[in-house]
Amino acid sequence: MELVDEAKSWEMTPFLLNSRVKGKAGGVSCHNLVIGIFEGLGIQLPFESPKGSGGVGDQTKLANISKFLSQYDCFAQLDDSERPRPGDLVSFRTKTGEYHVGLMLPLVSAGSLRFIHCIKPWGVTVSTLKDPTYGGRLISTWMLKHESEWS
């Protein structure tokens, strides 16, 4: 299954903290959405989402996604000058001070950098990096390494 097909199969899934169940009757958090998309593509990531992730205002429990991902050899952080590509993880610091993560999708038109993510109250949705909520708040971009490169 292609990245876009798998990602779009999660659309209409509502937000539900610490859950990973696809569909209108299910629920998913932003971290678990990314894990679920990779699983749907047959890629088993060597971790689960950070404990306590996704709680509004729960900054002491909420992991800094960059620090979390740097612990694992399956991702490589991209240089700030590199443009995110389809399949890359993007992490943000939101207006409420939380950390948020999404997965980049292919371009549909020139300059339209889209990503899929899950956020209250909309659930799984597609946004662009031009959206003021996210565009100026990008913290880091991470590329999934080929499985043969994982330790």
Task: Please state the pTM of the whole predicted model.
Answer: 0.81
- Structure tokens, 49: 């989402």
Q: The CATH number of 3-149 is which of 3.30.1490.20, 3.10.105.10, 3.90.1720.10, 2.60.40.1120?
A: 3.90.1720.10
pLDDT in tens, 51-60: 544 444 334 3
Confidence class for position 65, pLDDT limits 50, 70, 90: low
Among 40-44, 64-68, 81-85, 122-126, top mean pLDDT goes to 122-126
Paired residues of 89 in beta bridges:
103, 142
| Confidence (pLDDT) at 58 | 39
Query: How many whole angstroms separate alpha carbon 66 and alpha carbon 148?
Result: 22
Query: How many whole angstroms separate alpha carbon 3 and alpha carbon 125?
Result: 15
Residues 118-137, mean pLDDT to the nearest whole number:
86
Decide: helix, strand or coil at residue 95. Answer: coil
CA distances from 124 to 22, 60, 106 (A): 10, 25, 17
Query: How many whole angstroms separate alpha carbon 148 and alpha carbon 74?
Result: 9
Residue 143 has pLDDT above 90, yes or no: no
Stronger pLDDT, 90 or 71, i.e. the higher one: 90
Residues 119-144, mean pLDDT to the nearest whole number:
86
Residue 63 has pLDDT above 60, yes or no: no
Q: How many residues does the chain have?
A: 151
Q: For 33, list phi and psi in degrees, rounded to 5.
A: -60, -50
Is residue 96 within 8 Å of residue 57, measured between CB atoms? yes
